[in-house]
Structure 1
């Protein structure tokens, strides 16, 4: 039986029981949780380990228009989606069972734009089965990005070049919000000791359109086995990052987070 992890954005015990029973009739093994918007306690990360289970074939988000419009909810879902895709592959099967009119694709947070919307109806089980029976092939990634939410230690982000690529330094910015720590270390594990940083830069101001970012940067060379780590403050609506450049224009990656 294929496992499905469900995140219900509204706490409704009766709805949850009916959905579990319905999906079970299609030969699926559903499990899940009720979503919590407590960003300070990093409660979005409670679903990380279940979703990293290799036997979990898809992530099902159950939402309505009001729940999905909440910026805290969108930010938490974006963080969880980033870390799941970092571990399971870009484009990991994600289905949003939506009660109402689905939002326009360009209004979605970037980490959720690969998700498939489906009506929250009796036909949902058939759609989920059809999705999980399609072999998942991760999409090619242009960068590496992961997040670590640890209560008491804050929100740490990990960024670096994709496999087979190298960066001569790195820059990462948040908007709004700030950064108060950074380091370079082996990929896959935030640094626990002070790192030697080449030409560290703090408090850089970047303007992209009407949005201003606060960025930090270093000139340490990075490859697929080395990452840049930083601790972000607040609830940024957008991230910008990429290889460091002193030129007036440079290629960067921009993620909408809410």
Structure 2
């Protein structure tokens, strides 16, 4: 199976896109891609999910100027798209970034992109060929995290225990940051991999306040026991700055996972 690259170009520049596509094809790789859209209301960031989950796609390449990589709306969409791709292809799926003007430190990106590699465009072809044809590195995650972008139902997040583990209850909180409309509107529990049509919630809770790293989170929770085949689903509104989630705490001890979204 011939390998291909999916490219996201953060600014609409036809010449930039044409040159990049030509570079990729010279190395015998297939190529597909798009110009990035910051239309968060229509969740257009989710458009490439169907393409990038195809097994022949071996690398996601993101190219743009430093200002685009620093734009909160762009970062929010890129982070969610990365989470969706990692849920389908694994956390070791290769993500490469090209910054057109200045230095880009992956540690400053949303959590889901911090494993990305910043590359020099002058050496791009050989790097892509090598990455695309290598088996995807298996990276074990301590949790499951996926999402569903449904125009009629909104954005739903799915969290649950990693394979071989279970949670005695689940909690998810959001930090609104600079978006006063960010929050939680609904939640449910059901089989992993699909939004539940009906569910029974054990001791559902709303409005729980937590603090981590100087950020305040407002969370919802349930005490349903979750196996690796069951998940907690939460509908999120707006564009939260960060998420906090994990097993519902037993006593004062709590171990949560935090994802920076912007």
Q: What's the TM-score bracket when you normalise by the shorter of the two chains?
A: over 0.9
Structure 1 residues 139-218: aligned runs within 5 Å? 139-176=139-176, 177-193=182-198, 195-218=199-222
TM-score, normalised relative to structure 2: 0.94
Does 2:112 correspond to 1:111?
Answer: yes
Shift of 1:128: 1.2
Cα RMSD, aligned residues only: 1.2
Structure 2 partner of 1:102: 103
**Which residues of structure 2 form unaligned runs of 5+?**
177-181
Work out the CA distance in 2 between the residues paired with 1:101 and 1:190. Answer: 42
Shift of 1:146: 0.3
Does 2:234 correspond to 1:230?
Answer: yes
Contact 1:102–1:117 under 8 Å retained in 2: no
Work out the CA distance in 2 between the residues paired with 1:69 and 1:105. Answer: 11
Describe the superposition over 1:217-239 as per-residue Cα deviations: whole angstroms up to 9, x where unpaired: 00000011100001011101111
Give the secondary-structure state (helix, strand or coil) at the position aligned to 2:87.
helix
Instruction: Tell me the matched-pair count.
Output: 256
Work out the CA distance in 1 between the residues paired with 2:251 and 2:241. Answer: 25
Work out the CA distance in 2 between the residues paired with 1:155 and 1:138. Answer: 28
Work out the CA distance in 2 between the residues paired with 1:22 and 1:215. Answer: 46
Shift of 1:246: 4.2
Give the secondary-structure state (helix, strand or coil) at the position aligned to 1:196.
coil
**Which residues of structure 1 form unaligned runs of 5+?**
none
Does 2:223 correspond to 1:219?
Answer: yes
Runs of 4 or more, structure 1, over 6 Å off, are none
Give the secondary-structure state (helix, strand or coil) at the position aligned to 1:165.
coil
Give the secondary-structure state (helix, strand or coil) at the position aligned to 1:50.
helix
Contact 1:172–1:240 under 8 Å retained in 2: yes
